[in-house]
Amino acid sequence: MEYLTKFRTIASKVETVPGTAETLADADNNIRVYDLNIGALNVEFDSDPAKYATGDFTLGESIPSNQSASITFRNKWVNKAGGLEPNWTKFTKACGCDVAAASGAWGTGWALYPDAASAEDTLTIGIYDKQRGSNPSGLFYEFAGCIGNCTIATEGTGKPYNMSYEFQGALNDITDVAVADIPELSGAQTDIADRFLNGSFTVGGVTGCISTMEFNFGNTISPVQCIGAESGIEKFGITAVEPMLTINPLLKTQADYDSWSKFTAGTIEEVIITTSQFKLTIPRAQIVSMSIEDQDGILRQNLGFRPLRSSTAGSYIYASWYAYIIN
C-alpha cells in the first residue's frame, strides 16, 4: 500500500518549555492548512565526501550529526465567529508575534504585532502520512522547537489573503504510527475568509489604488545547538526581524503623490490597508525600493516600504506594525 500526498495532515501545539516536544491530539489539528510540505530532511555530516588516505579514489564513512527540516504551508486570513481569537494565531505567535484583545476607531477584535518577548515561542509540529487501502499504516514526523516566518499576501483584488509560513524545526524522529493515533482534523474554522476588495489604502493620508500586497514579517531563524537534545538542536529562535511591505499603487502625478521625492528624501509616513476583517497599520513606513511596472497595459508603481520602530509606546511596546483582526 502506498502513502498518498492527499492523506497528509498536520497537528501543532505551543510548547510549555521551548524545545520540549508536546504530545499531540485531535484538538491540535484544528486549522485548515493548504499546500503542506516538508522540505529537505537535513542531517549534517562531519564531512561529505569523506576522504582519507587510502592510496586511491575511494571514499570513507561520514558521521551524521544534527537533524532538522523546514515545514511550509499556508492558511487563509479569517476572523472567528463570536469575536473569539482565531485558531491560526498559534502559528503567528511562533513567528515572533503577540496577540491581544483590542479596540479602536476600526472596531473591536484582536491586534497582532511583533514582540521581542515572543522570539522563542516555539511549537511542536507533527506531520502525518497515511497509506491507502483497507489496513493502512501511518508515518509520524516529529518536529520540536519550531519557529517560523510568515508572509501575508494577495494575488489580486477579490482574492483571499494567504498567510504563508516557513517553519524550521528539530527533527526528533520519523516513526511508524497507528492510523488510529493520527490526530483528526477537528474544531477547524469554517468562517468565510477575508477578501482583498471593498477596502482602502492610504499612505501619508493620501488614498491610493492597489491590486496586490505582500507583507513579510522578515524573521531570521537560527538554531540553538545543544548536547542534550535528541536531534542535536534544542530549538530554533528569531535572531533578527526586518519586515517589508510591497504594494502596487496606480501611478499618480507628482502633485497627487510624489513617491520619487519621498523615496529620495527618506520621507517617513503612516501606511494603512483595510478590508472587512483586516487592517494593517504601519505608523512609520519608509520607501526603500521603487519601480514602474505594467499591469494589463496600465502603469503601476511597485513600492517597498520598511516598517520602522514606532515613536509612541501605546499598547504595543513600540511595535513597528499592527495587523488588526476585525470582528
Mean pLDDT of 171-187: 96
Distance of CA 153 to the CA centre of its chain: 11
Q: How far apart are the first and last CA of the chain?
A: 46
Whether 253 shows a pLDDT value over 90: the answer reads: no
CA distance 44 to 186: 36
Mean pLDDT of 118-122: 95
CA distance 123 to 167: 9
Mean pLDDT of 275-299: 95
In this prediction the pTM is 0.93
- pLDDT confidence of 62, banded at 50, 70, 90? very high
Mean pLDDT of 80-104: 95
Whether 314 shows a pLDDT value over 80: the answer reads: no
What is the bridge-based pairing of β-strands 213-216 and 219-225? unpaired
What pLDDT sits at residue 47? 84
- pLDDT confidence of 1, banded at 50, 70, 90? confident
Percent of residues, the chain, with pLDDT higher than 90? 87
- pLDDT confidence of 2, banded at 50, 70, 90? very high
Longest dimension (CA), the chain: 77
